[in-house]
Each structure stands twice: as structure tokens, then as C-alpha cells.
Amino acid sequence: MFKHSLFPQLFLILILTLSIHTSFCQEMKPVELQFIPDLPSLNPRDAIFKQYSQDVENAYKAAARQDMYPMFIYAYTTSESDTVISVASRCNIPKETVALLNNLSSASEPVSGKTLYLPVNAGLFIPETPKTVLAQIVKKRLLTENFAFEQYQWYSINGENFCFIPNERLTPTENYFFLDSGMKSPLPEGILTSPYGMRISPISGTEKFHSGIDLAAPEGTAVYACLGGTVLVAATDATYGNYIILQHANGLQSVYAHLSGYAEGMKEAGTFVTAGDVIGYVGTTGASTGPHLHFEIRTGNGTTDPESLLP
């Protein structure tokens, strides 16, 4: 018979070691989500939907207490009129929570007849292996921020692993991409000559942050608005030469620099443009070594890589 009263310290150490080991394993091993009740409809009178709505409400209450409600996932097979936004809003769950868990990249993606997994907790499901552009953009952002994925709970559903970040949402740029991923290329025939990020400046020869991308094309080639919006400013300076800044929804701006000239009406601030409208022409004005378009996306707190948003 083991008399543990004779070895209290040893016994305690053994328990501690075991519990540390167990919690470490739980952290690293995704929790398999198997129990998936089927929602026959999203009708508030339906008993299973009532249960789902109650779970969602409890999950929000738990989140307000800095706590997390157990992760339950329901499944719902969509009808013809459903979109990811209509389903998410009827479930009172953020659209990005539903989109990322179901590998949907844009609000306009058809979901009709598809079985969607509907979690009860709001947040972002970051796939271990992103399958969509949206998931790639979000994961890239989190990796840049050195996000500690290993400190969060991982879940496995249908053999796919997701890290769940409670209460996290899309940034305005990501949101814009999700709502309107129909961003058009400002210069479809252009050749990418310089990507976004750190580079040796062709003008000064020193290392500098390149806040946009350079697309080379013959002088006079038409430049298109990448998204709908209004002209914020059309002006000339020593660096950007002739440039236009368009204002879009959600605080997003697009910048077109080194233009040889402007399309009609585009020098007036406030002019409305639709995605794909000609706004100006490729040139080499300002600090430029040859005809090209410098294209930049501003997000309100900096710039983002336009290549991650372009088709």
C-alpha cells in the first residue's frame, strides 16, 4: 500500500508534473469538434435554432466576462436565397467568423445548398493551411504581428485544423476585401517591376520602404480606378509627379502616381468614379526613372500590399 502521507512533497510534485504535462498537450493538440447538431432552419420558432441562439447569447455574455463559452458548432444546409451575410446576421454571429471557418473568401461567394458550420463563439478561425485569399491575408497579417498562435485553442473539424482567436475581427482592409473582392487592376497590361516593401531606391540608391507597387507600361497607357469612390485630390509634387488619390469606403484610399495626364473630370475633387473607369495615363513625372504607375493602397493607419488585394 502506498502511504502518500509519508511523501507529501513527492506526491505533490508528481501531481504538478502530470497536470503541466496534460495542459501542455491540450494546448498543442487540436480539439476535435464532432458533435454537430443539424439546424433544420434558421427560424426563431425552431427548437434547435432556439437552442443555438441561446448558446450564442451565452457565448457573448461569457466573452463580456473575459471568459469563453464551450465551443459548439452547429451545421446548417443553406437554401437558395442564403448568403454568408444573411446567415451570419440571422445567427447573430460575425460574418468573418462564419466565412473563415467555412473557407469562404468573399461575401458574394455562392453558398446555396452548401452545409455551413455555425459556431456559437464570435472570433476568427485561422486555418493551419489557408485555402482562400481571405484566410491568407488574415494569416499573413497575424504572422507579421508575431501573433502567438500556440497560446490559443486549436480545433479540428473534418480533418482541418483552425486556431480560434476569440473576439478578433477583420481589419478595415480585410473587411473591404471580403465585401468587395472585385478590386480591378489599375493597369492590367502593366509589368510588376517593384513590389511592396523594403527595397533599394532606384533614385537614391539607399534602402527605403516602398509603400506601393510599380507597374511598367508605355507612356499614355490608360490607368483605371481599382474601386469605386470619389476623387480626393489630383495634384502634382516632386516625388509623385502628377497623381490622383481616390477615396473609397471604409477609409480605404488608392494612389496613382507619375501620370502623364488626367482623364476628363479627374482633376476635380469629389468626382465620382466606378471601378474600371479611366482616371489618367501612364507617365514618368516626378521622381521616376521611366514610364510606370506607382500604385498604393492606404488603409487609414498606413499602407498595405496592393498585390494581396488585386485579382
| Sites of contact with Zn ion (CB under 5 A) | 214, 294
| DSSP strand pairing (73-77 vs 38-39) | parallel
User: Looking at beta carbons only, is 197 or 220 nearer to Zn ion?
Assistant: 197
DSSP one-letter string for 205-262: -SEEEE-SEEEE--TT-EEE-SS-EEEEEEEEETTTEEEEEEE-GGG-EEEEEEEEEE
User: Looking at beta carbons only, is 248 or 294 nearer to Zn ion?
Assistant: 294
Closest approach, Cβ 242 to Zn ion, in A, equals 14
Closest approach, Cβ 215 to Zn ion, in A, equals 9
User: Looking at beta carbons only, is 294 or 298 nearer to Zn ion?
Assistant: 294
User: Looking at beta carbons only, is 154 or 256 nearer to Zn ion?
Assistant: 256
Closest approach, Cβ 295 to Zn ion, in A, equals 8
By the 10 Å C-beta count (0-12 exposed, 13-18 middle, 19+ buried), 276 is classed as middle
Q: What are phi and psi of 191, to 5 degrees?
A: -110, 125
Closest approach, Cβ 199 to Zn ion, in A, equals 9
Residue nearest to Zn ion (CB): 294
Closest approach, Cβ 311 to Zn ion, in A, equals 20
User: Looking at beta carbons only, is 119 or 291 nearer to Zn ion?
Assistant: 291
d(CA 216, CA 201): 16
What burial letters (b/e) apply to 223-238, b meaning 16+ CB within 10 Å?
A: bbbbbbbebbebeeee
